[in-house]
Amino acid sequence: MEMQMVRFTALLSASFLAIAAAAHAQDTAADARAFPAQLAGHAQLPAATFIAPPADAPSYFAQSGRFTAGARVEQPMGIFDEKTGLSRPFAGQPVQGFSSTRSLGDNRFLFLTDNGYGNQLNSADAMLHFSIFKADFDTGRLAFERTIFAHDPDRIVPFPIVTETTDTRYLTGQDFDFESIQPVGDGYWIGDEFGPWLIQLDGNGRVLQVVATEVDGQLYRSPDNAFVQAPAPAGQLPDNVIVQRSGGYEGMALGSDGTTLYPMIEKTVYNWADGSFESINGTPVLRIFEYDTVANAWGDKVRFYPLEDASYSMGSFNMIPGTTRALVIERDQNEGDPRDAAFTKPANFKRIYLIDLERADENGVLEKIAYIDLMNIADPNGLAPRGTIDGVFNFPFMTIEDVDWVNETTIVVANDNNYPFSVGREFGRADDNEVILLDVADFLKAD
């Protein structure tokens, strides 16, 4: 949910964070080797792609985006956005905003749609769902195979939801912020940013469990957790609010055993003991937990992913099958092609790192083995319809939130286009969802 720009209030100043990160970013970056990437395929879902809600959903969901101007606007297309030239509310539910993916083989991909329109308060009419697509990289198109809507008819969710009084109880972007998904057995596990929660769904999207994050006796909550009461203006947040707003589970990998989840916090957690955001030896770090889906229990082990800068975020996290190695997207908060003068604060740092969950130092900080630069992708064959200049393609989106292993030489990468707000590919035009294949054979073999 990256368009939400409110940041967790804390005592540590941004300047201190920047100084601490700058002092150590060069050291951590130096350990990882840079490898080339070449565009092997490009497909996209147009920004204006919508789907009808299920037939048994309240008629309220036939329109979405009515709360994105602050106050309610029911008139269709009654809100105009000068940045993109689009109007809303929209008819139907948006499919845009791919916040997680899994490669299913044969160019089929599971994509999780983000929670709605950028924050908890404006997404009450955005339904939570995910889809399976078949990509045709010859034509550059994505075809729907199936869409699954999350719902809670058994009243498993432990707090009131938007559709509380209905029988179907479909979930919305005000209830949860779905950011990561893993197929496990016959169903799915979802990583949420608000709680942060883990949510187990059956194969049809029916809620089976909602699991709070409590690891080694520590309860992790964000300011958007349903059980957190907002403080008075001069008061402090409750002591168990240590996860930053919009900083819960952004990525969640699935181990090679097919049952162990590795949810990763998107932003550094807050330390009440010394009033700081978490770092180890001056390097800002993100926590990675373990959850056993068979025993339904959290493990005590915590790993730490080192950020190159405290202002950066991780965007996606998936394992390479049969190994303890994984792919992690790390990125800045900027958007726009730096080769286009229309963008005054363009994208700069967009990388995919290779890590190994068994390669960590004495403090549990993972080693960054290698990386590829998404701002410097070779496209000698001109596969991309846009974004290639002099044979170099880039991925200049604010939120790049999808990466997964496809085969021994190839990975898939996609963006969350924050529809209708993000403008990264072309100034003045809402971003599409772009899905790219990258040939990174040497990167995947790095050691």
Instruction: Give residue 117's pLDDT.
Output: 82
* Buried b or exposed e, range 130-169, using 16+ CB within 10 angstroms: bbbbebebeebebeeeebbbbbbeeeebeeebbbeeeeeb
Supply the DSSP symbol for 365. Answer: B
Indicate if the alpha-carbon torsion angle 310, 312, 316, 317 is positive or negative: negative
Q: What does the block give as tokens for 199? A: 């949510």
pLDDT in tens, 204-216: 999 999 999 999 9
Taken as a whole, the chain contains a residue count of: 447
Supply the pLDDT for residue 241: 84
Q: How far apart are the C-alpha atoms of 51 and 364, rounded to whole Å?
A: 44
Q: Which two tokens stand for residue 358?
A: 């068994």
- Choose among 226, 222, 129, 130: nearest CA to 175: 226
- Number of Cβ within 10 Å of residue 364's Cβ equals 14
Residue 212 sits at the vertex; the CA angle it makes with 209 and 218, to the nearest 5 degrees, is 155
Whether the pTM exceeds 0.85: the reply is yes
- Strand, helix or coil at 91? strand
pLDDT band at 422 (very low <50, low <70, confident <90, very high): confident
DSSP string, 282-299: TEEEEEE--EETTTTEE-
Number of alpha carbons in the 13 Å side-chain half-sphere of residue 359: 15
- Average confidence (pLDDT) over 65-85: 83
- Quick check: bond before 196 cis, omega within 30? yes
Query: How many other C-beta atoms are found inside a 10 Å radius of the C-beta of residue 258?
Result: 13
Asked if 371 and 400 count as a contact pair (C-beta separation under 8 A), the reply is no
Q: Please answer whether residues 354 and 367 qualify as being in contact, where contact means their C-beta atoms are separated by less than 8 angstroms.
A: no
Split at pLDDT 50, 70, 90, the class of 97 is confident
* Mean of all residue pLDDT scores within the chain: 90
Predicted confidence at residue 28, as pLDDT, reads 45
Give residue-wise pLDDT tens across range 297-322. 999 999 999 999 999 999 999 999 99
Encoded tokens for 242? 């240590």
Q: What is the DSSP letter of 172?
A: B
CATH code for the structural domain at 14-59+91-444? 2.120.10
Chain position carrying tokens 């809100």? 79
In tens, the pLDDT along 316-370 reads 999 999 999 999 999 999 999 999 999 999 999 999 999 999 999 999 999 999 9
- CA dist 142 and 314 (Å) reads 26
Q: Which of 69-78, 135-144, 391-400 has the lowest mean pLDDT?
A: 69-78
- Per-residue confidence (pLDDT) for residue 234, from 0 to 100: 63
Q: Can you point out the beta strands (E) in 185-245?
A: 187-192, 197-201, 207-215, 218-220
